[in-house]
Amino acid sequence: MGRLDDRVAIVTGAGRGIGRATALRLAADGASVVVNDIDAEPAAETVSLIEAAGGSALLHVADTVELEQAHGLTKAAVDGFGKLDIVVNNAGITRDKMFHGMTDEIFDFVLDVNLRTAFHTTLAAMPYLREVAKAEIAADGKVAYNRKIVFTSSVAALMGNPGQYNYTAAKGALIATTKTLARELGPFGINVNAVAPGFIETRLTQAKTDSSDLGIPQQMRDMSLMLIAMGRLGVPEDIANVHAFLVSSDADFVSGVTIPVTGGQLGGM
């Protein structure tokens, strides 16, 4: 018996990194998982890994910057598995630039991928989360079980980070979103929380090269390690474990909070 048996989850940005680790963990806990990403090949790999481990998953390639595609994603979950219980808004990207050099194009791109995708995916999920819960309350006086929404924010939104005005603006907005939606949706038995990863080994934190827009300078990586009390950089599974807790019944009375997962990073609270 898994603690997410008979639950259906969407994980956005699930082709790589934290999203893939989260999809794998939720499936291992018994959930049927809709793997969403804009890149079909890595997302298909995630589905294959879930199925190889005996789990249940389906692939849905969509860019939920577009609301219509977000509606397609949530409908695919219900068409494929009969319902929707969990939404993990994980899609994200960085395009670092010091504030004085920030452009509208870079700003908008990062806000779209980190914030607008979460807005649209969550909005598209409302008929299957809020409205279903509302009907249960009308019929039985209570919800059948708690449903869950989780956002992947960042510790950078809690402490600031030079060169990441666009990223921290988006991730900070997700923290505010978490607090507001927790208040709006709590009466319908929907828990809304966020995870704020510290330094996690992903393609966004790899050593930057001249040929890629992703990554950070090696010097920054080295400095980050010096600030982590646990003495190691985080891995995607560290975040997936907290996502899995928040979407489980173990967290039914946890809502409106942002949990930093930083390994005791100095300044990370």
Q: Is 145 a catalytic residue?
A: no
Q: What is the 3-state secondary structure (H, E, C) of the chain?
A: CCCCCCCEEEECCCCCHHHHHHHHHHHHCCCEEEEEECCHHHHHHHHHHHHHCCCEEEEEECCCCCHHHHHHHHHHHHHHHCCCCEEEECCCCCCCECHHHCCHHHHHHHHHHHHHHHHHHHHHHHHHHHHHHHHHHHHHCCCCCCEEEEEECCCHHHHCCCCEHHHHHHHHHHHHHHHHHHHHHHHHCEEEEEEEECCECCCCCCECCCCCCCCECHHHHHHHHHCECCCCCECHHHHHHHHHHHCCHHHCCCCCCEEEECCCECCCC
In order of 15, 115, 200, 258, 264, the CA distances from 269 in angstroms are: 29, 22, 16, 10, 9
Contact of 5 with 27, CB cutoff 8 Å: no
Give the orientation angle of helix 165-185 with respect to helix 104-111, to 10 degrees: 30
Q: Strand 190-197 and strand 147-152: pairing?
A: parallel
Q: Which of the residues are catalytic?
A: 167
